[in-house]
Structure 1
C-alpha cells in the first residue's frame, strides 16, 4: 500500500497539464522531408544544402525550440546552436535548456522531444572549457551542479525523448544523450566520456547512466580509458538504439529520430507517459515492487477518455483520435 501511495505522489508531477504556449519560439521543421508549411526563409548549410526556417528563428540563440505542426504536431525539437563553441555547455545554454524543459514539461500537447544539433558534425563537445577556465574555483562546483540538475530534468521529462547524434558527443554532450530515452547516431559520430583525460570524472550523470546502458564492466573500461567510439561500435555496445549512415545533409540521425517520433505520435499520450514512468521507476527496484508500480500506473489510464476512444476505434475499425484526456 505504501508503494502505491508513493507512486501516486510521484507521478502527480507527470500528470498532463495544459500550458499557454504564447511567447514560446515556434519554428517549423527545417529538415528536408519534414511535414511543415508556410516556410519563409532559407539558409545554406555548410555542405551547400538548404535548411528552411520560419520567420520566428533567431540566429543568435544558443538553443532553438521548434514545435512541429501538421501531422507532426506534438513533436518538439530542441536544436543546440553554438557553432563557434562546438555546442559546448555554457551557463547560457544551461539556462535556455532549463527554460525549454520546464515549458514542455507542463504542456500536455507535447508527445515527444527530439534533442539534436544545428551545427554540422557536432552534437555537443561537452563543457565549455574556455568559460570554465575563467571561473573561480568556487564557481565550478555550483555550475556543475546546475548542469547535473539540467540533465536530470531532461531525463525526468514525462514524454519520450530522443537524442539525434549526428556528430561528436563528448563528455557532458554524451551525458545529455544518455539522459534521453532513446539514442540514434550516425555511424560517423564520435561518442565518449573523456573526462579522465582532464583528471576529472563525468559529473553530470555519466558514471551512473552509462553503466545502466551498457553494463558496469564495459562502462568502466570506456571511462577509465577515456575512449571514444563511433556510431557503429556504440550500436554494438548498446549505447545507441540505431546507427545510420550519414547523408549529404549531415542530418541522418535526426531524420531517423523523427521517424521514431512519428511512430510514437499516434499512440495514447497518457499511456506512453505512464509506460515511461513504470519502466523508469520499476527498473530501479525489485520485481515485486516494480509490479506494484506498474499496477499504480495502469490505474491512471483506466478512467481516461483516451482508453474509451481506443476501444471505440477498435470496434469501429478506424484510427483512434487521442487527445491526452
Structure 2
C-alpha cells in the first residue's frame, strides 16, 4: 500500500513505520492518523511481521504534535469528536495490537507525538529527544490519552507537573521517570530497536499476544487483570507454540516456534 505521509517497510519479520512529514516536524494531521491506522493494521495482520517499530523521519522530530491548523476553529462537539475518533483509530488501536510495537523516539515527541509513543508497548529514545505535553499552553488538554497513560508510566505527581507546566523533559529525565526504557545515540537508535526486536522475535508470538492482553487488562476499569492472566495462561496450553517450547526445553535445544 502506498502512503502520502508515512513509509512502511517489512524485512526479516520486522515492520518499520516512519512518519514522513519532516517539513511539518512529522505533525499528526487527519490523513496521517488514518494512514498510520492502515499501516499498523496491515502489519498486525501480516503473519510475517513479528515486531513493529515506529519512528519519525529526519533528525529533528519523532512527532512534534498534532496539526493545530486542522482544529483551531472547532467547537465543543467537534473537539470531543476529534479526541474520540483519534483514540479509537490510532492510539487505543496501537496499544491493543497483538504485535509488539516499539517507539523509537528521535527528537521532539510533543503532544500527540508523545501520546503516540506512550500508546506503543514500550519506548526507546535518542539522546537528543525532548518529550512533553504542551497542550495547556494552547488552552486545551491532552486528548489522545495523554492524561491517562502518562500517570500510568511516570506517576501522578510527575504527570501533573508535566501537564500543568507544559514543559519538556530530555531523554535522560525520561529514562529516570520510566517513560523510556533505553537512551542511546541518534545513530544507534534504530539498530538498538532492531536488536531488541530480534530478542522478541526469538520467543513465542502467540504467548506474547497473551502477555500484551494480560498486562493491558491491569489498566482497564472494570476488568480484573488477574482473571485475564489466568485466561490467557490457560489458552497457551492449547497452542503449538507451547508444545514446541516445552519439548525444546526438555530436549535441551532452541525452540522453533510455529506461531500458532
1:244 to 180, 184, 187: 184
Match of 2:38 in 1: 99
Distance 1:201 1:245 in 2: 32
2:112 to 163, 166, 172: 172
1:228 to 155, 168, 187: 168
Deviation at 1:290, TM superposition (A): 2.9
Contact 2:5 2:20 in 1 (8 A): yes
Deviation at 1:176, TM superposition (A): 0.2
Distance 2:186 2:18 in 1: 18
Deviation at 1:300, TM superposition (A): 1.0
Name the SS for the 1:79 alignment partner: strand
Match of 2:196 in 1: 260
1:302 to 230, 234, 237: 237
Name the SS for the 1:202 alignment partner: coil
Contact 2:96 2:216 in 1 (8 A): no
Deviation at 1:284, TM superposition (A): 4.3
Contact 1:94 1:146 in 2 (8 A): no
Match of 2:206 in 1: 270
Contact 2:92 2:119 in 1 (8 A): yes
Q: Could you say which structure has the larger radius of gyration?
A: 1
Gaps of 5+ in 1: 1-23, 26-57
Query: What is the RMSD computed on CA atoms of the aligned residues?
Result: 2.0
Cα 1:286–1:84, aligned 2, differ >3 Å: closer, same or farther?
closer
Q: Which has the higher helix share?
A: 2
Contact 2:96 2:212 in 1 (8 A): no
Name the SS for the 1:191 alignment partner: strand
Cα 1:131–1:290, aligned 2, differ >3 Å: closer, same or farther?
closer
2:20 to 68, 71, 81: 81
Name the SS for the 1:317 alignment partner: coil
Match of 1:196 in 2: 136
2:225 to 290, 295, 299: 290
Does residue 212 of the first structure (1) align with residue 152 of the second (2)?
yes
Name the SS for the 1:96 alignment partner: helix
Number of positions where the alignment pairs a residue of Structure 1 with one of Structure 2: 258
TM-score calculated relative to the size of structure 2: 0.92
Name the SS for the 1:119 alignment partner: coil
Match of 1:68 in 2: 11
Q: 1:37-186 to 2 correspondence within 5 Å?
A: 61-69=4-12, 73=13, 75-133=14-72, 136-137=74-75, 139-149=78-88, 150-186=90-126
Name the SS for the 1:109 alignment partner: coil
Gaps of 5+ in 2: none
Match of 1:19 in 2: none
